[in-house]
Amino acid sequence: MYWINRYYYEVRPELVLGVDDGTLFLNYNGQPFRPEDLSRRVGIYIKKANVGKQGACHLFRHTLATLMLENGADVRYIQEMLGHTSLKTTQIYTQVSIRQLKTIHTKTHPGANFTPKQREWLEGKGKSNKQPVAKGKGQQKGNQAITEDDYILWDDEMDEED
């Protein structure tokens, strides 16, 4: 609100020409700022930034919705915010967050950190009778917590069999 108040009290009075109809955002000619004016201006900045994407306000809208979804916002709230009448329209953003899904899988799935040899063992193609040890907090080996040495030992044992 700080910047809106500053604009309203310091800049806007200089832009008003003639009778003030109360329009909040005015262009340099004192005319109401139109959505296409904002899109054109933002599009120029995006092009200058060389981000490799085209678009303007819609690009920000899309990014906002995707980031909100990736950070846990319910898709129905995003739907309401974007003004979509159908949830199907909003659900397109759930497709983009596959990147986040892969990150979460890598961080949390017990098998995500297996070595190729450990994966072979799991698929029944390996030569060892020993069970693989997956990296992950809180996992146990018998009554003991798994340590980094356990991973190295298991990998070394697999190497010896080759």
Are 78 and 90 spatial neighbours (Cβ–Cβ below 8 Å)? yes
Note the pLDDT of residue 18.
86
Task: Show me where the domains of the chain are located.
Answer: 23-102, 111-134+144-161
d(CA 57, CA 10): 26
pLDDT mean across residues, the chain: 76
List, for residues 125-140, the tens digit of each pLDDT value.
655 555 555 545 455 5
pLDDT at 97 over 70: no
Two structure tokens written together for 141: 């080996």
Are 81 and 69 spatial neighbours (Cβ–Cβ below 8 Å)? no
Are 61 and 82 spatial neighbours (Cβ–Cβ below 8 Å)? yes
- Work out the average pLDDT over 63-87: 88
Two structure tokens written together for 10: 């310091």
List, for residues 46-61, the tens digit of each pLDDT value.
888 888 877 777 778 8
pTM (whole model) above 0.85: no
Q: Could you tell me where the DSSP H helices lie in the chain?
A: 2-6, 12-15, 35-49, 57-70, 75-82, 87-90, 92-96, 98-108, 116-122, 148-161
